């Protein structure tokens, strides 16, 4: 059912959707993303994550961009989303788009284009993103529960969560490669460094020298995890490459959900395959991003085009 839904939605999205409606649309988004990423390479990861967190809750409808109101706590204020960044990049692209073509380009399409453009700027393959998504007007913080994969997830849990969105295990492994850019808060993996209880100690699946380095970067304070951040890929944190997978093979996956990919025979084979053939990773990732970008989209007469991405219209 989920697969049928994803395929049907995809058929309604079109590459070059704005070619006649707003010819400058994709160029405007690309320029704003380029400005942001050249000033701060880490913003590339932020924009990719924004698109992912949008699509996994209510589909790719820009609901993650809506601000909370007096009567409603929106998705962006839910615990897994408080570290999201890149909202201001979407705002600047959107305000230019409204000047160029008022009420034409959806916030959901801006997010999809921005993720693609951000990746290209840090070494990802360029790929075509179909447009035609429309914006939703509902954003509820609680709906992030059970939809966004936690950093502690194992392969079975990841398969279930991605599968619920119509994505295969192979696509899940490819999309996990987004963790080759960006940073993680110490609190997302501190349980691997300082666990208590019957299995107290450090995570045995983690390379001890990596544990030692991380405990220096994320020291425990009064039994509380440190407030800092560390790169997801310690070798090339701002380059979209396969070092994320090489780290997993070396037992240096940062999150439990990263290292878990080595514990399953099928996902482990794919991880090793990508380290040996970076081109296959780039191709698979681009295809999986396009498919992810079609999850539960609103098209045609469904949804709306918000003129301000933060406010329901």
- Which residues does the annotation place in the binding site for heme b? 179
Q: Check: CB of residue 311 under 8 Å from CB of residue 137.
A: no
Closest residue by Cα to residue 94 from 121, 139, 67, 62: 62
Structure tokens at 155: 């392969």
Q: What is the 3-state secondary structure (H, E, C) of 205-239?
A: CCCHHHHHHHHHHCCCECCECCCCEEECCCCCCCC
The Cα-based distances of 38 to 33, 41, 86 in angstroms read: 8, 6, 13
Q: Check: CB of residue 27 under 8 Å from CB of residue 265.
A: no
Q: Check: CB of residue 312 under 8 Å from CB of residue 137.
A: yes
Closest residue by Cα to residue 5 from 53, 47, 58, 64: 58
Residue 185 designated active-site: no
Structure tokens at 238: 């701002």
Q: Which of 10, 25, 49, 53 is catalytic?
A: 53
What DSSP designation does 131 have?
Answer: B
Q: Can you tell me whether residue 157 is helix, strand or coil? A: helix
Please tell me the distance from the alpha carbon of residue 227 to that of residue 291, in angstroms, as a whole number.
35
Query: β-strand 183-185 against 229-231: which pairing, if any?
Result: antiparallel
- Give me the active site residues, please: 53
């Amino acid at each position: 059912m989920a697969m049928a839904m994803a395929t049907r939605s995809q058929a309604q999205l079109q590459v070059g959707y704005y070619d006649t409606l707003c010819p400058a649309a994709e160029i405007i988004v690309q320029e704003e993303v380029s400005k942001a990423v050249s000033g701060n390479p880490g913003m590339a990861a932020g924009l990719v994550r924004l698109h992912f967190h949008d699509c996994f809750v209510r589909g790719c409808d820009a609901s993650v961009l809506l601000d909370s109101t007096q009567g409603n706590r929106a998705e962006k204020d839910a615990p897994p989303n408080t570290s999201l960044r890149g909202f201001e990049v979407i705002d600047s692209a959107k305000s230019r788009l409204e000047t160029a073509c008022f009420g034409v380009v959806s916030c959901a399409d801006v997010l999809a284009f921005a993720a693609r453009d951000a990746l290209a700027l840090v070494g990802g393959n360029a790929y075509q993103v179909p447009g035609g998504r429309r914006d939703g007007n509902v954003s509820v913080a609680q709906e992030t529960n059970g939809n966004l994969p936690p950093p502690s997830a194992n392969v079975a849990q990841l398969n279930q969560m991605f599968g619920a969105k119509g994505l295969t295990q192979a696509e899940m492994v490819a999309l996990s490669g987004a963790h080759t850019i960006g940073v993680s808060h110490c609190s997302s993996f501190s349980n691997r460094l300082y666990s208590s209880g019957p299995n107290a100690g450090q995570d045995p699946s983690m390379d001890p020298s990596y544990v030692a380095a991380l405990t220096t970067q994320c020291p425990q304070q009064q039994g509380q995890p440190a407030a800092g951040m560390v790169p997801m890929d310690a070798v090339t944190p701002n380059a979209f490459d396969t070092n994320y997978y090489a780290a997993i093979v070396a037992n240096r996956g940062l999150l439990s959900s990263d290292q878990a990919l080595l514990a399953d025979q099928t996902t482990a084979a794919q991880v090793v395959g990508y380290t040996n053939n970076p081109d296959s990773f780039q191709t698979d990732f681009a295809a999986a991003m396009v498919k992810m970008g079609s999850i539960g989209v609103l098209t045609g007469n469904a949804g709306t085009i918000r003129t301000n991405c933060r406010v329901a219209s």
